[in-house]
Amino acid sequence: MKRYLGLDIGDRTIGIAVSDLLGLTAQGVETIHRKSLEDDLKRLGELMEQYETRSLVSGLPKNMNGTEGPRCEVTKEFVAKIRERYPDATVTFWDERLTTVAATRSLIQADVSRKKRKKVIDKMAAVLILQGFLDRQRRNTVD
């Protein structure tokens, strides 16, 4: 089995999650606070090295009706930069509609303060993106 890194790509932050070696669960790793494209790609490369993977799953923020808007374009442009910098990386897009809403709801139910939620929401969204992908992978191998 191989590991995956999950990405929740935003304008100011990139939430990062990683799968376990069996591909069963996703855990939050960190939130990259975006500084420059160079710094963002460098940190992502360091995480790929640390977790020994080149397999990425990026959330694709589609509109509620399933169409792709400006946010999808921004995400795809960043993913293109990842592929340029790390040509051996594979990036799979995952429909991330409602992941931030679900992450917020989970954190509220866990009674996490608004201030703390703000610090972990992107990482939590990355976990939900990656977990959805892993669950589908598992279902597809069982079917």
Rounded CA gap, 114 and 84, in Å? 37
What is the residue range of 62's domain?
A: 5-142
> Could you report the per-residue pLDDT of 47-102, keeping only the tens digit for each?
999 999 999 999 998 888 888 888 899 999 999 999 999 999 999 999 887 677 77
**What is the DSSP track for 27-40?**
EEEEEEE---HHHH
Domain count across the chain? 1
34-67 in b/e form (b: 16+ CB < 10 A) is beeeeebbebbeebbeebebbbbbbbbbbeeeee
Give pLDDT, residue 112. 76
Residue 121 · residue 104 · CB < 8 Å: yes
CB of 116 within 8 A of CB of 141? no
The CATH code of the domain that includes 71 is: 3.30.420.140
* pLDDT, mean of residues 7-30: 94
Q: What is the average pLDDT across 14-33?
A: 95
The rounded Cα 78 to chain-centroid distance in angstroms is: 13
pTM over the 0.85 mark: yes
